[in-house]
Amino acid sequence: MNGKSGIRRKASIAFLSVLVGLSLFMLAGSQNVAGYSTVVDLSPGVPQDITYMSVTIHAQANVSTHLSVSINNNLRNQEVFLNISGSGPLNVSLAMEREFPDRRLSEGQDVSVLNSQSRYKFSFGAAFRIQSNDSQATMRLGAALGPLAPQKDVLSWVSKDVAAASDAPWALAPTEISGDELYTTVGSDSYLAIVEEYTPFNYVWIVVIVVVIAVVAVAGLVISRVDYFRNAAMKVRGEGVRIHRMSFEKAIQHPVREKILDLVLSKPGIHLNELMRQVNLDSGALSWHLQILVDYQLVKMEKVGQYNAYFPRIPIKNDLPLYLDAVKLMKNETGLRILHLIQEEGPKFQAELASILGVEKKTIRYHAQRLIDGGIIEIKDAEGRKYHVLTPKGEGVLKTIDELGKQAID
């Protein structure tokens, strides 16, 4: 009996050891997962979309391709276009990260670029690593610029060979602008990122520049700021909103909050990320100043799509019809160009839109679908072809945009 009991005891111990080992193995494996990964098989010429949260990759290849994708869990609001060309079946991997610190690519930091006298910094918020089993394969990679679209003339792609030393400089890659998207074409096994060219201030001229800006700002804002703050003060004292331990004057006279107010007054609907860049504060400090301005009813926050946008608290413009739809569309250059073209020349089908606007058909297809989903355009059949036409809502949105333009001039 004692012998059988000992065997059962040893067997139980061994079984428990296996369970513990498996649990530790699964836990270690789960800790290595930093986001989302998937594998798709691309058929020649057939586009396929890969979506994770607010990240979308439009992938296409000219040959059968086994595509492995990994997306960092911290990436937000990214739209990427990948076109793969090669011979024979391909195995391709695409990794999307916020940055590659081990390759001297960090958010908001300068980037060393080979044989360039210009200064560049990385602020796009996404970086890429592409690898393939065919060294002759080429990858055409594009990215929607989003809030950076107005700065597209100073944006460039840079690349670095995966096999290069970690401290090797980056190299400027061929860069092509298409609407509000930026494209490049490179070989396989590359790190890729979008960088911004900038000119450091010449400190000899800083005092002169500050004085000139101050004079212009005072001349342009003195009346509107006085009226705005007088109105806001009356609302604060008349509505009994929650007050911080400071006077109303201190709430508006802080230099950081003055800068925030000027930005909100001059750019109603400005996004939180743009405020962070303009004011040069981290999100925690900026949110504290914004909360004071919100509590004193100087500004207010509204959701515009997926973004937090800030507006003057005194209603000046947002009483217009379809105001939020108009503000959201004004951030989308390609969508706005599509609407204006249909308004000026009448119904158009997608091939016409792509040809006239000089962008790819898949780009037109993407933006047209967003406009259809928003009820701004619709599809109608005529002589066996499908045309895009403005809806009554679309006409109203364009009228609102025109009115906003007139108010900005006034």
- The CATH code of the domain that includes 355 is 1.10.10.10
d(CA 172, CA 209): 32
In a domain, 216, yes or no: no
- Domain shared by 38 and 157, yes or no: yes
In a domain, 241, yes or no: yes
Burial of 99 by CB count in 10 Å (0-12 exposed, 13-18 middle, 19+ buried)?
buried
Mind spelling out the 3-state secondary structure of 134-190? CCCCEEEEEEECHHHHHHHHHEEEEEEECCCCCCCCEEECCCEEECCEEEEEEECCE
Q: Tokens for 331? A: 């951030």
- Domain shared by 37 and 146, yes or no: yes
- Domain shared by 246 and 346, yes or no: no
Q: Where does 255-360 have alpha helices with state H?
A: 255-266, 272-279, 283-295, 323-330, 333-345, 350-357
- Domain shared by 170 and 302, yes or no: no
Burial of 223 by CB count in 10 Å (0-12 exposed, 13-18 middle, 19+ buried)?
exposed
In a domain, 228, yes or no: yes
Work out the number of other CB atoms within 10 angstroms of the CB of residue 58: 20
Domain boundary among 290, 312, 334: 312
Q: Total structural domains in the chain?
A: 3
Per-residue pLDDT of the chain in tens (410 residues, 90 and over written 9): 555 556 666 656 656 555 555 554 444 333 333 578 999 999 999 999 998 888 999 999 999 999 999 999 888 888 999 999 998 799 999 999 999 999 899 988 899 998 888 899 998 889 999 999 988 899 999 999 877 777 788 899 999 999 889 889 999 999 999 888 999 998 879 999 999 988 776 656 666 666 766 655 554 444 455 455 555 555 544 444 445 566 665 666 688 888 888 788 778 888 888 888 888 888 888 888 888 888 877 788 887 767 788 887 654 444 556 766 776 676 577 888 899 899 989 888 888 898 999 989 888 888 889 899 889 999 988 777 888 999 999 898 888 877 766 654 44
List Cβ neighbours of 371 (8 Å cut-off, separation of 6 or more).
335, 338, 339, 377, 394
Verdict on whether the full-model pTM lies above 0.75: no
- In this prediction, residue 85 carries a pLDDT of 92
d(CA 250, CA 273): 25
- Domain shared by 61 and 189, yes or no: yes
DSSP 8-state code for residue 298:
S
Query: Phi and psi at residue 298, in whole multiples of 5°?
Result: -90, -35
- Domain shared by 235 and 272, yes or no: yes
d(CA 62, CA 64): 7
Domain boundary among 285, 312, 339: 312
d(CA 58, CA 83): 8
Domain boundary among 267, 284, 312: 312
- Domain shared by 270 and 357, yes or no: no
d(CA 293, CA 248): 10
d(CA 130, CA 185): 12
d(CA 28, CA 103): 26
In a domain, 9, yes or no: no
In a domain, 317, yes or no: no
- Domain shared by 273 and 333, yes or no: no
- Domain shared by 304 and 327, yes or no: no
- The answer to whether residues 83 and 76 touch, using CB atoms and an 8 Å cutoff, is no
In a domain, 74, yes or no: yes
Q: Residue 252: give the domain boundaries.
A: 223-312
Element (H, E) at 240: none
**What value, to the nearest 5°, has the Cα angle with vertex 197 and ends 195 and 199?**
145
DSSP helix/strand/coil, 384: coil
- The answer to whether residues 121 and 111 touch, using CB atoms and an 8 Å cutoff, is yes
In a domain, 206, yes or no: no
- In this prediction, residue 385 carries a pLDDT of 81
- Domain shared by 289 and 327, yes or no: no
- The answer to whether residues 97 and 80 touch, using CB atoms and an 8 Å cutoff, is no
In a domain, 218, yes or no: no
Residues paired with residue 183 on neighbouring β-strands, in sequence order:
142, 176
